[in-house]
Amino acid sequence: MKHLFVVLLVVPLMVIAQTDNPFKDEVKSIQKKNDSLWDPSKPTIVFTGSSSIRLWEDVQERFAEHQVLNTGFGGSQFSDLELYLDELILNYRPVKVFIYEGDNDIFAKKRPRKIIERAEQILADLQQRNPNMEIVLISAKPSISRWKYRGRYRRLNRKLDKLASENEKIDFVDVWYPMLDNRKVMQDIFIEDGLHMNDKGYDIWYDVIKDYMD
């Protein structure tokens, strides 16, 4: 009976742990891949965040003059990134990190103000632990499938821009407006789901982000 009680107690705790860390296995896989690619003797630039980063499969090739690591993990929010700052960013001692989060936060109906509060905590932690690292916040992107939330995304982007303007080590790069045509989101820059980008979409990102690489 005692053993049964222990089992009944442990199983729910294991379920809770898995729920609290849904990206644990994915992060381990990302670490394993990037550990095999990383040359500690070279300056490193990390791209991290949700699936728009994870699916940027040729980011290293596009910025071939730099050592770039892609540690994006799909479906993530700022709160998820906060759990893995070491594994996805700090362990690689980057000179610069590009962060794309907020897209899924808004879709999860989090308020922009609350999202910014979490972002501030993350940025403060990163800067305390690696003061020389430059941080670039990538704006939330527009998309066909989430266009009805455009007002919330624009509010979030304004707040991210303001947050970056208050710190000389943080930049904000706007990919929102370059992805619009006559104030409507472009239709030919996404794959079938209307959320994730095709090569045309990433061409836009490259054109905007390249000026922030050096």
Those residues whose C-beta lies under 8 Å from the C-beta of residue 96, and which sit 6 or more positions away, are 45, 46, 133, 134, 135, 136, 213
User: Tell me, what's the pLDDT at 8?
Assistant: 46
Q: At what angle do helices 150-165 and 112-129 cross, to 10 degrees?
A: 30
- What pLDDT does residue 15 have? 41
Question: Residue 61 has what DSSP assignment?
Answer: H
75-103: per-residue pLDDT in tens?
A: 999 999 999 999 999 999 999 999 999 99
Tell me phi and psi for residue 39, to 5 degrees. Answer: -110, 105
Q: How far apart are CA 196 and CA 186, in angstroms?
A: 12
Those residues of the chain that have pLDDT short of 50 are 2, 4-18
pLDDT for the residue 18: 45
**pLDDT the model gives residue 23:** 93
**What is the pLDDT, as a whole number, of residue 1?**
52
pLDDT of residue 3: 52
How high is the pLDDT of residue 52?
98
C-alpha 19/C-alpha 191 separation (Å) is: 29
What pLDDT score does 114 carry?
97
Q: What is the pLDDT of residue 5?
A: 44
Question: For residue 50, what are its two tokens?
Answer: 């949700």
| pLDDT attached to residue 173 | 99
- Which CATH number applies to 41-212? 3.40.50.1110
C-alpha distances out from residue 136 to 70, 99, 100, 109, Å: 14, 6, 9, 24
pTM equals 0.90
Domain residue extents for the chain: 41-212
Q: How far apart are CA 70 and CA 151, in angstroms?
A: 29
Beta strands at 67-70 and 44-49: parallel, antiparallel or unpaired: parallel
Query: Alpha-carbon distance 179 to 183, whole Å?
Result: 9
Note the pLDDT of residue 97.
Answer: 99
